[in-house]
Every structure is written in C-alpha cells, then in structure tokens.
Amino acid sequence: MQSRRKIYVNMKIPEEEYKEQHYPTQSKQQPAEQPQAKWDYVRWKELNVGDYVKIENDQDIPADIVILSTSETDNICYVETQNLDGETNLKQRQGLPGTAGIRTEQDCEQAKFYIESEPPHVNIYQYNGVLRWQIDVNDTETIRSGVSHEKADAVTYNNILLRGCVLRNTKWAIGIVVYTGSETKIMLNTGRTPSKRSKMAKATNPHVIANFVIVAIICIVSSIMDSVQFNSSGSSRYFDYNIEGSNATYSGFVTFWVTLILYQNIVPISLYISVEIVKSVAAYFIFADLDMYHEETDTPCIPKTWNISDDLGQIEYIFSDKTGTLTQNVMEYRKCTINGVSYGLGTTEATLGALKRQQSHHHQEKETEAGLNMQEFIQDDLIGNDQLEQYKQEMFAKQAQLYENKYIGPNPTFVDPKLFDDLAQDTKQAMAIAHFYQTLALCHTVIAERPDKSNPNYIEYKAQSPDEAALVATARDLGFVFLGRESNKLLVCIKGEKKEFELLNVLEFNSTRKRMSVIIKPKDSD
C-alpha cells in the first residue's frame, strides 16, 4: 500500500455549505492549474487508502489513520475513545519518528514512502505494520552517505488513530489512511443489535405458535370434510337454500373461515394484551419509586425497555465492569499516608457508604468485640462541612506562612493543617512529604492547560485517567505545581520556586509492575 500524491477535483458546492451539510475532513488537493498542493475539505466516503489527512482539534477521525506528525514538538497527540470503548479519559498516541518532519502540504507532496499493513481485523487494540522509505545516494544527512539503502519504522497500535475517536488537546495531526469504510475497526465490530426479550416471552411464544398450528389444522380438516360431504347423498342440499353455495370448493372455503372464528379462542390473544397492561403499570411504579430517585440531579428512574421489566425479579447477581462505572470518573484526593503518618480530615466514600449501611440497619445495631457501638464509632470519625472549611482556611494560612502558592485551584479536596506543621520542621518527615508531593507533580503524563486567559495562574489538568488528574491537582493546591511541559522538559513550581527537569524516559503502566515511572534529571545537574 503505497502513499502517493492524490489530486482531488474542486467541490461543486461552496465550502461553508458543504461543512454544514456533511462531515468533512481535510485532505490534500492539488488542482491541475495550480502546481502547489493545498488542503481541501472532502467527504468521508471520498477518502481512499493512501490519502493524506489533516485532523484538527476536536474533530472526529474519519478513517483508520497512521499518525505521521502532530503539532506537538515531541510528535504526540491525545484522543478520546468514548465511541469505541466507552472510556472518557484521554489516550496518548505517538507519531512516527521518521515522518515527524512532515508539517505542510509541500512536505506531503515531496515525501516518498510506503506502508506494509496487516489485513483488517476486529481487534481494536492491535495493529502491526511497517513504514519504509528509501535513502538516496545523494542524501548527505545520513551516516551511510553515498550508499542507497532503505529505512523502516514499526507501526503499532500506539501510532494509529481509529475511526470514531476524537482528537483532543492537539492543534492538528497529519496522517495517512490505512483502512476506510467497512474495513475500519469500528465498522468491523458493528453487529446487529440483539433482540431483547424477557424469559416470559421466550417461554410463551412457542406455545402461541403451537396453538396457531392446531387452529390451522382444525380449520383445514373441517373444510376438507365439508367439501367431501357436500356431494354425499341425502336431502341436506335441498334445505340449505343455497347458503353453502353450489359447489364443494366454495362450501369448504366458507367452512374454513367459520371454523377459524369458532376456534380463535384457542390462541390466547387476550393474554398478550393483559401482559402489556401489567408491564405498563409496572413501568409506572418503577418511574414513581422514591428509592430509585436521584435527588442531586432531580432524575427519576426512567424505564425504557418495558418488555424485559418482568426479569427484574429474577436477578441474583449484579456485575460491574470496573470502578469507573461506579465513580462516574470523578476522583477526589482526600487522604494519604506518608512515611507511616496518615493525613487528611475529609470523609471518603467508603466511610460514607459504611455510615449509610449502618443507618439502614439501625434497628439491628450490634456492638463490636471491643464493646463499641459501630454507628457511634463512624459518627465520631465524621467532620461537618463548616468545621472542615475552618480547617481548610487554617491549612492555607499555614501554607502562606511557609511559601506563596498562587496556583491553588477553585475546589481543593485535601484538608489537613497538620501537613504544613510537619512540613515546616527540619525533619525526615518534612523531607518525606516534600519528596512525596514532588513525585506527584513529576511522575505523570497529564497536560497543563490555562483555559482562562485573564487568569494565567489557573491551571487545569487533562489526564488519561481521572485519578492521575486528581493526584496532580492536589499537589498543585499544596504548593507542588506542575506548570507544563516543553518537548522533553518538565516545568514545575516547588514551594514557590520554579524548577526545570529533563524527562529522559517514561515507563508506562502495565499489569506486571502495577505502576508507572519516569526517569528525570534536574536542570544543570550532572
């Protein structure tokens, strides 16, 4: 699959009208009368394998694309994969090192390379390919100058943008199409929506079909017998006054419909109507149930699939895929333990959950082995909002005495004045606290943004996971501020003093190590 220079004809309709009516993306165009190539908006369906595509911030990815270059100096970009896997956190993708110099349309026009790609398959977490390009004899920038040879870059899942994703926090990204249309991974994983039927419907439908078959057999046999008996000897034909017709065929036809009306009660049509009425009443009770009403958002339980409501009484187990489903991807930093010392006066969700369970069983209060009442124990551990606000003001007052922190966020979640009491002393614990929060400010992959231009001290963090953003935000509130990154440089403000670190390597999180790490070097350090 070779990457060639594509020439697109001009659109027949105005560009702005086209944007409103279709889903456009930028593709390289070179009209015949102009020797210089330029980007143009084209329909998704007009993209072909091998086309250059430029995606801008907050735009949807129109096809499966290999990343050639991005607007970032380190050739990375961030995508949101919510349409693929339901994850709302951002994922980091890396451009290929061999094509990082492609920045303009002219660079795309002059580039010569080809990609060896694997066939399309349904696994959205796997891709293998190779980008190869030829080094000319006259290229003096290579070590093997004067010798024509071929170079290659491995293309993996980390170097590809899948259709259905959205580009975030990146000004632009240039890529080349490898899969389009029905061959994209999102389309290969799109199947027919299974029919949702309750167990009651699955059990009754075969019986209803059997009743229909029995009624049909009875009606057919009755009509045949009437047709045979029509021409039999006897005087019945002289007394029906030609009601049954003048021939056996017509008589059998009339008998079929007469018997169908007579035996229709065998099919329980009224049962279906009764069941639907019962399900409608059950849906109303579900809607009006106060136990399933969410007071914070003023949202009742809305039944959308009534035909499976009767299965609710048969549920024995509820499985949740992961914690993000339960926490709604909202993480708050409340407590921590540093060098064996616990900090944090806020109440965690676990404590609140234990209290709610205890209150729901207040009539069955039991005492622990130490003779303490569990409910009283939990109540003693809670701190009211007013008292917590006083502790927060006291904590930041002590912080101001030690150093100035002008980057405090609008909603700090960690509160404990004791932390700054220990940090103010010249002890090992103070050093451990400083190292702890300095690690939180440096060991991550978040992006620092300043959305409010009128307030440059307000920093908002975008991370691949909400817990990572919560850790870095708390370090910011406590005076260990991550200011941003420039290529491989990390800029931080530690206790009011700006420092710079060189990022040497990032060891990504994996299931074996169960952690992620960074290797950094302070500026002007050996």
323 appears as a binding residue in the annotation: yes
How many domains is the chain partitioned into structurally? 3
Residue at which a domain ends, from 218, 235, 267: 267
Residues 415 and 488 in one domain: yes
Whether residue 388 is contained in a domain is answered as: yes
Residues 518, 467: contact at Cβ < 8 Å? no
Instruction: Give me the count of residues in the chain.
Output: 526
Residues 164 and 100 in one domain: yes
**Residue 172 DSSP class:** E
Whether residue 403 is contained in a domain is answered as: yes
Q: 3-state SS of 133-162?
A: EEECCCCCCCCCCCCCEEEEEEECHHHEEC
Residues 300, 292: contact at Cβ < 8 Å? yes
Range of the domain at 454: 336-363+380-522
Q: pTM score, two decimals? A: 0.60
Whether residue 229 is contained in a domain is answered as: yes
pLDDT in tens, the chain (526 residues): 333 323 232 233 333 333 334 556 666 544 444 556 788 888 888 899 999 999 998 899 999 999 999 988 888 888 988 888 777 777 889 999 889 889 888 888 888 888 999 999 998 888 999 999 887 655 545 444 455 678 889 999 999 999 999 998 888 999 999 999 889 999 988 877 666 777 777 888 888 889 889 999 999 999 998 888 877 766 666 666 666 667 788 888 888 999 999 888 888 877 778 888 888 888 898 899 998 898 888 899 888 877 777 777 778 888 776 665 566 667 888 899 999 999 988 776 666 666 666 666 554 554 444 444 444 444 445 667 788 888 999 999 999 999 999 999 888 989 999 999 999 998 999 999 999 999 999 998 888 888 888 888 899 888 877 888 899 999 999 999 999 888 788 999 999 899 999 988 888 877 788 888 999 999 876 5
Residue at which a domain ends, from 267, 296, 317: 267
At residue 371, φ and ψ (nearest 5 deg) are 85, 15
Q: Check 321, 426, 524, 526 and give the catalytic one.
A: 321
Active-site annotation holds for 524: no
Residues 349 and 236 in one domain: no
Residue at which a domain ends, from 210, 241, 267: 267
| Structure tokens given for 314 | 């048969």
Cα dihedral value 394, 398, 403, 408, nearest 10: -20
Residues 261 and 396 in one domain: no
Sign of CA dihedral 95, 96, 97, 98: negative
468 appears as a binding residue in the annotation: yes
Whether residue 288 is contained in a domain is answered as: no
Beta strands (DSSP E) in 13-75 are 24-29, 38-43, 52-56, 64-70
How many whole angstroms separate alpha carbon 337 and alpha carbon 422? 13
Residues 523, 500: contact at Cβ < 8 Å? yes
At residue 29, φ and ψ (nearest 5 deg) are -125, 140
322 appears as a binding residue in the annotation: yes
CATH number at residue 51: 2.70.150.10
